[in-house]
Chains A and B, each alone.
Chain A
Amino acid sequence: MNSMNAVSDSQLTDLDAWFDQRFAQKMADHEAAHVPSMTIIATKGTLDMAYPPFILASTAAALGWDVAIFFTFYGLTLLKRELDLKVTPLGNPAMPIKLPSGPDWLKGRELNIPTSLMANLPGFQNAASSLMKKGMREKGVASIDELRSLCVEADVKLIACQMTVDLFDWRRDDFMDEISDWVGAASFLPIAQKADVNLFV
């Protein structure tokens, strides 16, 4: 047996115990110093689908996380200077339709009419959108403008997809100044790679 390798079993046991303890300590230090991070890809531009990215981003920032949102395709409309978001019952059978006023027996009851029929009524989309906004105000739910401002205040990175602006012939001037970058997938993915949480909305 080579004398260089002559480590006794008891020495090995001590070494293992020392390493385990040291490793656990180092891991705990690392965990305590780690700032959690999240990236979100926002692809939808409707009133209802604008909520998840802004709610999650502003809340994560309040918890002390680093957050970046990549806005692409219809999601990019969420970064327009003037927001005019709409919700549509079309293709959304789970959307409850209730009359806000009218006789007591009808008011507040869910109307059992296929959303595909309702969506064909002229002006229905605008009516549904203003009803949802009204309901949100009454229930103390934040507006998208408010949540977006809170995100900006909390240093959430708002990253815009350059390709989308080109595709839809939009102009960068139509979008808010707080956008941190106009980039493509190759610039966003390295940020997402390092993040603890990645969401696609």
Chain B
Amino acid sequence: MMQIANATLDARGLNCPLPILKTKKELTSLTAGETLMMLSSDPGSVKDIESFCLQTGNELLESAASDNEFSFLIRKV
């Protein structure tokens, strides 16, 4: 079960690299420690969000997948 996040971003229907770019933008509006729930329908975003978090230092708390839909809980550093 996913925790409740401070903000939600629905990036479903968007393709590479938009889910990443919109995630980055959304994180900018949060303060450190706050969390973002991102929803995506792009299968590439599973690896891409992992890599994005590794590179930017933001913490990927949870990552879940169900029938062509993916959700990510990210904590801003």
Quick check: is B29 within 8 A (CB to CB) of the other chain?
no
**A58-B21, A62-B24, A62-B52 given. 5 additional CB < 8 A pairs?**
A59-B21, A62-B20, A62-B21, A62-B23, A64-B56
Binding site for B on A (CB under 8 A): 55, 58-59, 62-64, 139-142, 150
Count residues on chain B whose CB falls below 8 Å from chain A CBs: 15
Please state if A140 and B18 are interface contacts (CB–CB under 8 Å).
yes
Within 8 A of A (CB), among B1-51: 13-18, 20-21, 23-24, 41-42
Specify the main secondary structure of chain A where it touches its partner: loop
- Check: B55 CB closer than 8 A to any chain A CB: yes
Docked-complex contact A55 and B15, CB < 8 angstroms: no
Structural contact, B55 and A142, CB atoms closer than 8 A? no
How far apart sit A26 and B41, CA to CA, in the bound complex (Å)?
A: 42
Interface residues of B (CB under 8 A from A): 13-18, 20-21, 23-24, 41-42, 52, 55-56
Residue of B nearest to A141 (CB): B15
CB–CB A140/B21 < 8 A: no
B17's partner among A55, A64, A139 (CB-CB below 8 A) is A55
- The 28 sampled A-B contact pairs (Cβ below 8 Å) are A55-B16, A55-B17, A58-B17, A58-B21, A59-B20, A62-B20, A62-B21, A62-B24, A62-B52, A62-B56, A63-B55, A63-B56, A64-B55, A64-B56, A139-B15, A140-B13, A140-B14, A140-B15, A140-B18, A140-B41, A140-B42, A141-B15, A141-B16, A141-B18, A142-B14, A142-B17, A142-B18, A142-B21
Q: Across the interface, which residues of B come within 8 angstroms of A150, CB to CB?
A: 21
C-alpha gap A59/B51 in the complex (Å) = 11
Residues on A with C-beta less than 8 A from B18 are 140-142
Residue in B closest to A32 when the chains form the complex, CB atoms: B57
Q: For B14, give the chain A residue with the smallest CB separation.
A: A140
Q: A139's closest neighbor in chain B, by CB? A: B15
Interface core residue of B15, B23, B24, B41 (most chain A CB under 10 Å): B24
Which residue of A is nearest B17, CB measured?
A59
Specify which chain B residues have a CB less than 8 angstroms from the CB of A64 in the assembled complex: 55-56
Minimal Cβ-Cβ distance residue in B for A62 = B24
* B42: min CB distance to chain A, Å: 8
**B14 & A63 in contact (Cβ 8 Å cutoff):** no
A150–B28 CA distance with the chains assembled, in angstroms: 14
Do B14 and A62 have beta carbons less than 8 Å apart? no
A17 to chain B, nearest CB (A): 31
CA A62 to CA B18, docked complex, whole Å: 10
User: What's the Cα separation between A150 and B21 when bound, in Å?
Assistant: 8
Closest approach, in angstroms, between the C-beta of B20 and any C-beta of chain A?
Answer: 6
A59 to B18, CA, bound (A): 9
